[in-house]
A and B are shown apart, each in its own frame.
Chain A
Amino acid sequence: DSGVTQTPKHLITATGQRVTLRCSPRSGDLSVYWYQQSLDQGLQFLIHYYNGEERAKGNILERFSAQQFPDLHSELNLSSLELGDSALYFCASSVVTSSTEAFFGQGTRLTVV
């Protein structure tokens, strides 16, 4: 158990819908990272938050957004969902801003039908 908690574990939704994925980082970790894992693109960095502020953005679609709350948990919002958004979404956390010491959660498997 990495100490990073992601909910829900599985999510099935229809095209055009909006979903929210939640991540609770390890106790004491200030950084939260979101990654998408799909069959054709592999593991791709989406976005990084540190202590409530956005630090870096990767290949994140405009339909996707994220935020980190004062209690340090983070949410990834995915809207106007398309079939191609079906993937595993991972959250990782670390104490500082370096992702090299980040611990990954078990992921949320999103299926868009």
Chain B
Amino acid sequence: GQQLNQSPQSMFIQEGEDVSMNCTSSSIFNTWLWYKQDPGEGPVLLIALYKAGELTSNGRLTAQFGITRKDSFLNISASIPSDVGIYFCAGSNTDKLIFGTGTRLQVFP
């Protein structure tokens, strides 16, 4: 099945550090979303982006929708232990989501 490319695959950082992760696609999407998945849980929506070039923040999270509509990044500032989890990007043109391969984040105190 189709998947978006996310990088890095995993990150190990110290509490308080900033984090940046990217997502790229060979296809154009009208909407980009970022999700976080905790162990044993379903994905939870963090940020939704609807316009090319849009920069949106949600607390310590900031995400941008690329101008070409083929990429997006997510930044997390001043990481805390509860940021641990898997972060997924997802693109959408219609009524289905195409998910990225995921970035696993570990935060050490």
Which A residues fall within an 8 A CB radius of B? 2, 4, 31, 33, 35, 41-45, 48, 50, 55-56, 58-59, 90, 92, 97-107
A-B contact count (CB 8 A): 66
User: Quick one: given A2-B44, A100-B33, A106-B41, are A41 and B1 in contact (CB under 8 Å)?
Assistant: yes
- Contact (Cβ within 8 A) B44 A33: no
**A35–B43 alpha-carbon span in the complex (Å):** 11
Residues of A within 8 A of B99 (CB): 42-44
Most buried by B among A2, A43, A102: A43
A45 lies within 8 A of B44 (CB)? no
B42 touches A92 (CB 8 A): yes
Task: Choose among B3, B42, B96 the residue that contacts A99 (Cβ–Cβ < 8 A).
Answer: B96
B58 interface residue per 8 A CB criterion: no
Interface residue B82 (Cβ < 8 Å from any Cβ of A) = no
Measured between C-beta atoms, what is the minimum distance from A65 to chain B in Å? 17
User: Are A58 and B96 touching (Cβ within 8 A)?
Assistant: yes
Chain A residue with the shortest CB-CB distance to B30: A100
Give the contacting residue for B95; candidates A31, A43, A103, A107; CB below 8 A.
Answer: A31
Q: Is the CB of B48 within 8 A of A100?
A: yes
Q: Are A45 and B97 in contact (CB under 8 A)?
A: yes
Report yes or no: A43 in contact with B88, Cβ–Cβ below 8 A: yes
Q: How far is the CA of A75 from the CA of B22 in the complex (A)?
A: 35
Q: Are B42 and A58 in contact (CB under 8 A)?
A: no
**A2 and B42 contact, Cβ closer than 8 Å, known pairs A42-B3, A58-B1, A100-B92:** yes
Which chain B residue has the least Cβ–Cβ distance from A48? B95
CA distance A107 to B41 in the complex (A): 7
